[in-house]
């Protein structure tokens, strides 16, 4: 099973809110995740990002690959 760390969209129309989740790469974007790892809210000023660094490191140790967006969020937060 190939695991990805990526964003899943929440919120209402024109007010996006994203959860950072670990899920199987074949699962649809808003499918059932294996675990919630944080969130990203682009609508606030400054942008609100919270990551569970310990669990992200665990999943990456298990072979999970972050998406490009999640990778950039991790770099901005020093992970």
Q: What is the pLDDT along the chain (79 residues), one digit of tens a residue?
A: 689 999 999 999 999 999 999 999 888 877 888 999 999 999 998 989 999 999 999 999 999 999 999 999 999 888 7
Task: Quote the pLDDT of residue 1.
Answer: 65
The domain containing residue 16 runs over which residues?
3-76
Number of domains making up the chain: 1
Radius of gyration of the chain, Cα coordinates, nearest whole angstrom = 12
Task: Quote the pLDDT of residue 40.
Answer: 94
The CATH number assigned to the domain holding 25 equals: 3.30.1320.10
């Amino acid at each position: 099973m190939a695991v990805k760390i990526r964003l899943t969209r929440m919120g209402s129309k024109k007010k996006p809110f994203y959860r950072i989740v670990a899920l199987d790469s074949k699962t649809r974007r808003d499918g059932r995740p294996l675990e919630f790892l944080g969130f990203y809210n682009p609508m606030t000023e400054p942008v609100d990002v919270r990551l569970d660094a310990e669990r992200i490191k665990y999943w990456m140790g298990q072979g999970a690959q972050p998406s490009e967006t999640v990778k950039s969020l991790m770099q901005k937060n020093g992970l």
